[in-house]
Structure 1
Amino acid sequence: LRETYENHHRVIITDDALKAAVELSARYINDRFLPDKAIDVMDEAASKVRLQTYVPSPEMQEIKDKINEVNNQKEAAIASEAFERASELKTEAAALQEKLDELVEKKQKKQQEIQLLVTENEIADVVAMWTKIPVKKLKEDEKARLLKLEETLHERVVSQAEAVTAVAKAIRRGRTGLKDPKRPIGSFLFLGPTGVGKTELSKALAQAMFGNENAMIRVDMSEYMEKESVSKMIGSAPGYVGYEEGGQLSEKVRRNPYSVVLFDEIEKAHPDVFNVLLQVLDDGHITDSQGRKVDFKNTIIILTSNAGASNIVSPKHLGFGAGNDEKANYEKMKTDVMDEVKRMFKPEFLNRIDDIIVFKQLNKDDIRQIVEILTLQLSKRCKEQMDLNLDITEAMKDYLADKGYDEKYGARPLKRAIQTELEDNLAEALLAEKIKASDTVKCDVKDGKVIIEAEKKKAARAVKGKSEEGAVPKAAKKVVKAKAGNTATKTAKSRKTTKK
């Protein structure tokens, strides 16, 4: 078929393009079959290359604009019965059209001499357009990205080394082909109290794997507590309201097949919902109410639960205050949590999950690191949205860490502390016009009070100082004027005496 499409589009399709069309379509386009989808990708890429040659040059576009302008003037002249002027404009338009035809003919001859190539880059562009995956992610060396996955995740997730390592290892197993190709890339059960980074790790994973943290489908399982709510997930049965709309889960995954699917607070879901999840985890697909197969093999499944959270928060299990070995305490706490999880979930459900990860409780040093991340994000927002340069002192960061530290609730109180102590004061200073765009704003704390003030510009002060040094004081000016007046009076008197 290559020769047929080459002759039709008048292009040359390279061997790499053919190989990329098969590999990328097989990997990323799931709702169609080979060889049909590979042929369509090749056809669209070839037509895209050919259509780029039909874009007029700036000179041709300028002549077209002139022709339109002359034609408008000609019509206006005819309407005002200025027929001689209309005849002149008609001749001018004909000359411009002739010049345009010559340029078009030259361009066509030149294009016939140039061989238009369809390469793997054009194939990747088409696949990216169809699947909504950034082109650079298709071209990037995935091996290098997977090898540095822990480093990438730790840029956003503080502490939780065991969780990050376990996720990275499971993802590498899935992408190297060691897993069942029909199952999702990875499936994890995240356990731990609130505010320790379960959702943040999910967002970081979406950013690292799919190029955007918004490539995450979040499903709140508290909405699926009733038996009838299963229809919300895969769609209503024929004859019921909402049949044509599709399911909340199936429709989102069908439209975004490359994403992280987060099932939040899984223990709140009705037991019938687990039957759907079993099919997703085992077979890698579900069939919606309209009979369409929704593929999950390119998704990452994450389930979060607060099961066993009391064992994580309880000091008697951790023993930090007693000074015991932290690693041994963590292992004991993990064992206690797993015992509770086994009582709560069925064995067939737990056996289908790749890894069960228990998140540690955050300490004060972890909160201080999170302060650095959150204040940096705030500084970027202020610079992009209001052109403010924030200078947040170390004392202010320590103050926020103290205010936002809560052993039971993790990092969530810290976000509230930044809002109330820093963002609210910044908003008040902006409204009171104490600070304005392009200012460097110093955020400090003294005696337990937050201080927001614009730093004075040293350069302006220096210039002002120089001008003051070179200026003559007003008092000195008055003295000089007075002396000048006295001298003039004495001179006038001496002249009168001489005349006499």
Structure 2
Amino acid sequence: PPPPARPGAGGGGPPPRALVDEVRSLRARIEARHAERRGAGAGASEPPSPEEVSLRADLDAKTEELRRLQGEAPLMQVCVDAQAIAEVVSGWTGIPVGKMLTDEIQAVLDLKGRLEERVIGQAAALEVISRRIWTARAGLTDPRRPIGVFLLVGPSGVGKTETALALADTLYGGERNLVVINMSEYQEAHTVSGLKGSPPGYIGYGEGGVLTEAVRRKPYGVVLLDEVEKAHPDVLELFFQVFDKGTLEDGEGRLIDFKNTVILLTSNVGTDTIMKLCADPETTPEPLGLAEALRPDLLRVFKPAFLGRLNVVPYYPIRDEVMHQIIRLQLSRVGQRLQEHHKAQFTYSDDLVAAIAGRCREVDSGARNVDHIITRTLLPEISREFLARMAARESISRVHISIDDQGAFQYAIT
């Protein structure tokens, strides 16, 4: 049976299977004409016949039409090409070769802009990260070391974790290529074996470490070490070799290679200093000045040798205008899901954005509370009404959310 049609692939054009058959037929005719010429003693320098030129033009046009129709993940392949091989390699190894083939250099050049689409209000931090990755991609850094090692410092809910998710998606083809390790679980010195694996003769030998096994299975990806300030200092010393040489020996003696990873560490150290310095927008320091002001706080928690091996990237507190942008971004994603699953239009009032922003200011969790409000308040109310309409076999065409006189969310579903 023919493969299912892709969304938006209608438009009156031929289906993908018909195009694939046409491309294969044109390829066969071109090869047949080429074989006839060789059989007649024609040399390689002899120009092709007008018929061959016409066939090649048709082949190029049909191939381009098929490429536009199928997108990044074609369901049918004309032949075994680089993309088909890349998909097989990706399926076996977990390395997202397929997406990396699609103009990877241009994707790296556009990295900062693509990150800013997801991480709002942290342009300075994203600039530092992007510059380091540009340098590494150009081959101007030590090839043994990780692509980049960054300590993301700032208050909760300002975009540090979202940066890791965006990097994994942009550079490595998906958020599944993100390894997250909560360092608060390694507050004792002996827990270091949980990261690299137990040595022979100890309990857990052969099971692999959380860090080493994850990177061994996915050598291309982002490693996020969350709440790194809570880890024991002896545990942090484990990473000196990773930062310097790009390798780490696991419990079984295997060398795990980190040279194709981006390592992000997050910390809330210095939050009070950041909030104090950034309280007034007119006197907010530049990124370099803010990083320098944070250094005394960081030295009280981390050793100088540890800080000297990574790039400190401060994150600014989220201001009201940035919070409004984040809320609108989250609401637009809700609208996309409503359109995809129910073909319903989604609108909201400006008062809704202001109300959500006001609730976020009441709780000291930054933009993280936006997702909580949407998923725990807005979506359950909408979902209950949707399910009731679906049970009654009634259609839904529009959803509008506003604020009533008491400041509560008001839903109009038609």
Q: TM-score range by the shorter chain?
A: 0.7 to 0.9
Return the alpha-carbon distance in structure 2 between the equivalents of residues 390 and 121 of structure 1.
37
Counterpart position of 1:318 = 278
Quote the offset at 1:443 in angstroms.
1.7
Within the alignment, does 1:242 sit opposite 2:204 as a pair?
A: yes
Counterpart position of 1:441 = 399
Return the alpha-carbon distance in structure 2 between the equivalents of residues 125 and 319 of structure 1.
50
Within the alignment, does 1:377 sit opposite 2:336 as a pair?
A: no
Within the alignment, does 1:452 sit opposite 2:414 as a pair?
A: no
Return the alpha-carbon distance in structure 1 between the equivalents of residues 262 and 290 of structure 2.
27
- Give percent identity, aligned residues only: 37
Within the alignment, does 1:214 sit opposite 2:176 as a pair?
A: yes
For 1:4-41, what per-residue CA distance to the aligned partner results, in whole angstroms no more than 9, with x for missing partners?
A: xxxxxxxxxxxxxxxxxxxxxxxxxxxxxxxxxxxxxx
Q: Where do residues 89-104 of structure 1 align in structure 2 (5 Å cutoff)?
A: none
Counterpart position of 2:304 = 347
Q: Equivalent of 1:155, from 92, 99, 117? A: 117
For 1:408-446, what per-residue CA distance to the aligned partner results, in whole angstroms no more than 9, with x for missing partners?
A: 431122222223442232134335549955432222223
Quote the offset at 1:227 in angstroms.
1.4
Quote the offset at 1:128 in angstroms.
3.0
Return the alpha-carbon distance in structure 2 between the equivalents of residues 444 and 264 of structure 1.
37
Size of the alignment, in residue pairs?
Answer: 338
Counterpart position of 2:141 = 179
Within the alignment, does 1:265 sit opposite 2:230 as a pair?
A: no
Q: Equivalent of 1:205, from 162, 167, 170? A: 167
Quote the offset at 1:212 in angstroms.
0.4
Letter in 2 for 1:334: A
Quote the offset at 1:454 in angstroms.
2.1
For 1:215-243, what per-residue CA distance to the aligned partner results, in whole angstroms no more than 9, with x for missing partners?
A: 11000001111112111111112122221
Return the alpha-carbon distance in structure 2 between the equivalents of residues 149 and 251 of structure 1.
28
For 1:343-369, what per-residue CA distance to the aligned partner results, in whole angstroms no more than 9, with x for missing partners?
A: 32112211211x210000001101100
Quote the offset at 1:119 in angstroms.
5.5
Return the alpha-carbon distance in structure 1 between the equivalents of residues 282 and 354 of structure 2.
27
Quote the offset at 1:373 in angstroms.
1.1
Return the structure number with greater relative CO, CA threshold 8 A, min gap 6: 2
Larger proportion of helix? 1
Counterpart position of 1:416 = 372
Q: Where do residues 244-323 of structure 1 align in structure 2 (5 Å cutoff)?
A: 244-314=206-276, 317-320=277-280
What is the SS of the residue equivalent to 1:344?
A: coil
* Contact map agreement 1:367 1:405 (CA 8 A) in 2: no
Within the alignment, does 1:224 sit opposite 2:180 as a pair?
A: no
Letter in 2 for 1:257: P
What is the SS of the residue equivalent to 2:175?
A: coil
1:132–1:226 CA distance, 2 compared to 1 (3 A): same
* Contact map agreement 1:220 1:264 (CA 8 A) in 2: yes
Within the alignment, does 1:404 sit opposite 2:360 as a pair?
A: yes
1:133–1:388 CA distance, 2 compared to 1 (3 A): farther
Counterpart position of 1:104 = none
Q: Equivalent of 2:383, from 427, 451, 454? A: 427
Quote the offset at 1:123 in angstroms.
4.7
1:430–1:211 CA distance, 2 compared to 1 (3 A): same
User: Pairwise CA RMSD of aligned residues?
Assistant: 2.7
Quote the offset at 1:150 in angstroms.
0.8
Letter in 2 for 1:366: V
Counterpart position of 2:317 = 361
Return the alpha-carbon distance in structure 2 between the equivalents of residues 198 and 247 of structure 1.
25
Return the alpha-carbon distance in structure 1 between the equivalents of residues 289 and 309 of structure 2.
24
Letter in 1 for 2:291: K
Counterpart position of 1:60 = none
* Contact map agreement 1:388 1:437 (CA 8 A) in 2: no
Gaps of 5+ in 2: 1-20, 22-31, 37-77
* Contact map agreement 2:290 2:314 (CA 8 A) in 1: no
Counterpart position of 1:136 = 98
Return the alpha-carbon distance in structure 1 between the equivalents of residues 389 and 208 of structure 2.
51
Counterpart position of 1:337 = 294
Larger Cα-atom Rg: 1
Quote the offset at 1:405 in angstroms.
3.2
Letter in 2 for 1:358: P
1:408–1:335 CA distance, 2 compared to 1 (3 A): farther
Q: Where do residues 38-49 of structure 1 align in structure 2 (5 Å cutoff)?
A: none
* Contact map agreement 1:189 1:302 (CA 8 A) in 2: yes
For 1:320-349, what per-residue CA distance to the aligned partner results, in whole angstroms no more than 9, with x for missing partners?
A: 1xx743346x66543321221123211221
Letter in 2 for 1:143: I
Return the alpha-carbon distance in structure 1 between the equivalents of residues 80 and 340 of structure 2.
39
What is the SS of the residue equivalent to 1:214?
A: helix
1:135–1:288 CA distance, 2 compared to 1 (3 A): closer
Return the alpha-carbon distance in structure 2 between the equivalents of residues 385 and 244 of structure 1.
45
* Contact map agreement 2:87 2:98 (CA 8 A) in 1: no
Counterpart position of 2:152 = 190
Return the alpha-carbon distance in structure 1 between the equivalents of residues 342 and 179 of structure 2.
31
Name the TM-score, length of structure 2 as normaliser.
Answer: 0.75
For 1:72-127, what per-residue CA distance to the aligned partner results, in whole angstroms no more than 9, with x for missing partners?
A: xxxxxxxxxxxxxxxxxxxxxxxxxxxxxxxxxxxxxx9xx99x997545553443
Letter in 2 for 1:156: R
Return the alpha-carbon distance in structure 2 between the equivalents of residues 129 and 427 of structure 1.
36
Return the alpha-carbon distance in structure 2 between the equivalents of residues 153 and 208 of structure 1.
8
Gaps of 5+ in 1: 1-56, 58-109, 456-500
* Contact map agreement 1:313 1:361 (CA 8 A) in 2: yes
* Contact map agreement 1:405 1:413 (CA 8 A) in 2: no
Return the alpha-carbon distance in structure 1 between the equivalents of residues 323 and 358 of structure 2.
9
* Contact map agreement 1:362 1:407 (CA 8 A) in 2: no
Return the alpha-carbon distance in structure 2 between the equivalents of residues 282 and 217 of structure 1.
20
What is the SS of the residue equivalent to 2:332?
A: helix
